[in-house]
């Protein structure tokens, strides 16, 4: 049994590593888009790629079978790859350092819970106000 489980664990571990890399690259591209040392055309492309990757709106909605995840699995990584190839190396190094600093900050579940409660209370009071 453990023989069949090990490859699955390995695939999951590789997918998690890939997803963390994509997340880091998206944040890197975001910071690179804001760097005045980058060429304007690449900055615009980087801004578009970062905005699309971070946007909840997809080119192809996720509820469409197979095609819905095509943008998440192909468009975003290809856009990141293109930006990272076009961006000057010193700009990318600086942006990677900023991304690593941001992603290394601890996340507070308590703070997240507080924000959820604030939004829920606001929604409750707005709903009561309109009714």
Q: Are 26 and 53 in contact (CB under 8 A)?
A: yes
Each residue of 63-116: pLDDT tens digit?
777 777 777 778 889 999 999 999 999 999 999 999 988 888 776 777 777 778
Residue, of 76 and 131, whose pLDDT is higher: 76
Q: Which two tokens stand for residue 106?
A: 């601890």
In DSSP notation, the chain reads -HHHHHHHHHHHHHHHHHHHHHHHHHHHHHHHHT-TTS-HHHHHHHHHHHHHHH-S--SS-TTSTTGGGHIIIIIHHHHHHHHHHHS-HHHHHHHHHHHHHHHHS---HHHHHHHHHHHHHHHHHHHHHH-
CA angle 39, 40, 45 (to 5 degrees): 100
Rounded mean pLDDT, 3-9: 63
Residue, of 22 and 3, whose pLDDT is higher: 22
Quote the CA–CA distance of 56 and 25 in Å, as a whole number.
18
């Amino acid at each position: 049994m453990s023989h069949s489980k090990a490859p699955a664990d390995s695939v999951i571990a590789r997918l998690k590593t890939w997803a963390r890399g994509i997340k880091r690259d998206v944040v890197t591209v975001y910071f690179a888009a804001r760097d005045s040392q980058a060429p304007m055309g690449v900055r615009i492309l980087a801004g578009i790629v970062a905005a699309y990757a971070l946007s909840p709106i997809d080119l192809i909605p996720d509820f469409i079978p197979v095609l819905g995840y095509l943008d998440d699995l192909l468009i975003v990584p290809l856009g990141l790859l293109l930006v990272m190839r076009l961006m000057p190396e010193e700009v990318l190094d600086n942006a990677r350092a900023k991304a690593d600093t941001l992603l290394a900050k601890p996340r507070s579940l308590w703070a997240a819970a507080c924000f959820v409660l604030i939004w829920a209370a606001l929604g409750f009071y707005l709903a009561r106000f309109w009714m």
